[in-house]
């Protein structure tokens, strides 16, 4: 039986992380060929080999460095002869601090990875994509509301909605669709790290606090996000572009 992505060629950044890896596994199951990109070389190699598939390539790159972005875009084109799906997903959480104490070097780092990384990805990958391709950018519920203590992260996730909207407009002529996905808190490394940063003495209480703001009373699993990304990547969403897709168990309702 053909999968929803049979014969499609996908590039995924942040592929060694929770959401990226879960999405890669789902895309592979649905018949896609994959180029996995991440800055963490050892984890990326391990994940690529865990998949045991000839349809999986990997490329170690820092998405905030444009020369490295150009290289992974070239490598994907060379490996597959075309690119149909781009999951522009890599991101970092930074630290937890009020804006007046937020370390300037971390502000710069978050903007470099979460904003410039997404921008360079669009700039250097999309021109290599086939007509009717699909681009999915990972924002967050933090792209749609404020979270105290996470200023630069919130700023960066708002910024990528702007990138998504402009790039969607400018790519429509080639029938390339561009959408963003907005996870609420996800049960993975990034949230564990944030919980520790917000309250080193009681990270579990931070999780309980977030869960209290979610009508479904639980964090998302990586696979909850991957399924929405699959929908946006597949022809099931052929007429959908320029949209913000919230996957948050109702968090933004509260
Ligand atoms: P994660 O930390 O498990 O994965 C992020 C991945 O991005 C890591 O593998 C990391 O090595 C990679 N990465 C970081 N900087 C990079 C760089 N400069 N170049 C290349 N790769 C880099 O967390 P995740 O939850 O899988 O995060 C994926 C995306 O989802 C991020 O954009 C994140 O902001 C967003 N998000 C996460 C949550 C959550 O609760 N975890 C919620 C909303 C949005």
- Which residues contact ligand 1 via a Cβ below 6 A? 13-14, 16-20, 38-40, 62-64, 89-92, 113, 117, 138, 140, 183, 185-186, 188-191
Catalytically active residues are: 153
- Predicted confidence at residue 2, as pLDDT, reads 82
Within-domain flag for 194: no
How far does residue 40's CA lie from ligand 1's centre (Å)?
A: 11
- Predicted confidence at residue 197, as pLDDT, reads 96
Within-domain flag for 216: no
**Over the chain (254 residues), what is each successive 10-residue block's mean pLDDT?**
92 98 98 98 94 95 98 97 98 98 98 98 98 98 97 98 98 98 98 97 97 98 98 98 98 96
- CATH at 78: 3.40.50.720
What does the DSSP assignment read for 71-90?
A: HHHHHHHHHHSSEEEEEE--
Is residue 137 within 8 Å of 160, Cβ to Cβ?
yes
Which of 11, 12, 17 has most ligand 1 atoms within 8 Å of CB, for mutation?
Answer: 17
Indicate which residue's Cα is closest to atom 9 of ligand 1: 17
Which of 11, 12, 13, 14 has most ligand 1 atoms within 8 Å of CB, for mutation?
Answer: 14
pLDDT digits (tens, 9 = 90+) for 155-178: 999 999 999 999 999 999 999 999
Alpha carbons 20 and 103: distance in angstroms, whole number: 28
Within-domain flag for 54: yes
Is residue 121 within 8 Å of 86, Cβ to Cβ?
yes
Alpha carbons 6 and 208: distance in angstroms, whole number: 40
- Predicted confidence at residue 1, as pLDDT, reads 62
Within-domain flag for 1: no
How far does residue 18's CA lie from ligand 1's centre (Å)?
A: 7
- Predicted confidence at residue 8, as pLDDT, reads 98
pLDDT digits (tens, 9 = 90+) for 85-126: 999 999 999 999 999 999 999 999 999 999 999 999 999 999
Within-domain flag for 128: yes
Expressed as residue numbers, the domain containing 88 is: 9-185+221-253
Alpha carbons 197 and 36: distance in angstroms, whole number: 28
Beta-sheet strands, E only, within 93-241:
129-138, 177-183
| Total domains present in the chain | 1
CA angle centred on 193, ends 37 and 218, rounded to 5°: 95
């Amino acid at each position: 039986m053909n999968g929803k992505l049979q014969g499609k060629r996908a590039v995924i950044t942040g592929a060694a992380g929770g959401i990226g890896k879960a999405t890669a596994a789902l895309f592979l199951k649905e018949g896609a060929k994959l180029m996995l990109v991440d800055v963490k070389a050892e984890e990326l190699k391990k994940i690529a080999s865990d998949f045991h598939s000839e349809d999986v390539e990997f490329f170690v790159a820092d998405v905030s460095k444009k020369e490295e972005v150009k290289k992974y875009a070239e490598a994907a084109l060379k490996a597959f002869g075309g690119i149909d799906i781009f999951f522009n997903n890599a991101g970092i959480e930074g630290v937890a601090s009020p804006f007046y104490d937020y370390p300037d070097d971390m502000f710069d780092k978050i903007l470099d990875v979460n904003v410039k990384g997404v921008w360079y990805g669009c700039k250097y990958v999309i021109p290599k994509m086939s007509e009717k391709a699909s681009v999915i950018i990972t924002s967050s519920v933090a792209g749609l509301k404020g979270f105290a203590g996470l200023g630069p992260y919130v700023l960066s996730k708002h910024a990528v909605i702007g990138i998504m909207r402009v790039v969607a407009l400018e790519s429509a002529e080639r029938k390339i669709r561009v959408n963003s996905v907005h996870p609420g808190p996800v049960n993975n490394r990034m949230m564990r790290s944030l919980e520790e940063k917000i309250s080193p003495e009681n990270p579990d209480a931070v999780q309980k606090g977030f869960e209290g703001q979610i009508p479904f009373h639980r964090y998302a699993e990586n696979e909850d996000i991957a399924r929405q990304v699959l929908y946006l990547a597949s022809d099931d969403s052929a007429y959908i572009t320029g949209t913000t897709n919230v996957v948050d168990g109702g968090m933004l309702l509260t």
